[in-house]
Structure 1
Amino acid sequence: MESALYEWFMCNQEHVNISGELLKEKGSIFLKELYPEANSFECSNGWLEKFKQRHAIKSFRRFGESGSVDMEKIESILPSIREELDKWAWKDIYNMDETGLFYRMQADTLL
């Protein structure tokens, strides 16, 4: 079961954000398909951690847009942004990110 799960992981890690919960779920599916009589095994968090250790799977964060930022452009435009913000009182400035807009997107943190 673990070799099938690891093979699936290796084939899909570039295309799908694979979380620990997804690995546990897929492990349960493979277990039921390969060993229908094994019903007492549960893919627990402890099993997941050992599985990741056995196969040298590390957690990492995928960088999408944030990895492609041109820092020189940011530094050149920063003074004009500060100038615009100086026109407003601190209580009127709200800092937000895309979390509220993209709450249904796949996670970018893996394992």
Structure 2
Amino acid sequence: MYGDANSEFNFSIGWLKRFKARHEIKSYRRFGESGSVVMENIEDALPQIRAKLENFDWKDIYNMDKKGLFYRLQADHSLATKH
């Protein structure tokens, strides 16, 4: 972490674990599960989405929900002293 200039620092996993316990730092989940989606909202939006898709050819429509596009994705866990 500090390079050769400060070689007296030796942060082990055990040190970090005890530091977090001493200061009551825990890992919290920031976002809920996908099961918390309100299906009625999706069903209301589907006709609007289908109307927009009618302007495109099928060859120009791609399903990207399973792709690894995580540019600037926020972390789903965070370290904090309170939830």
TM superposition score normalised by structure 2: 0.44
Higher strand share: 2
TM superposition score normalised by structure 1: 0.35
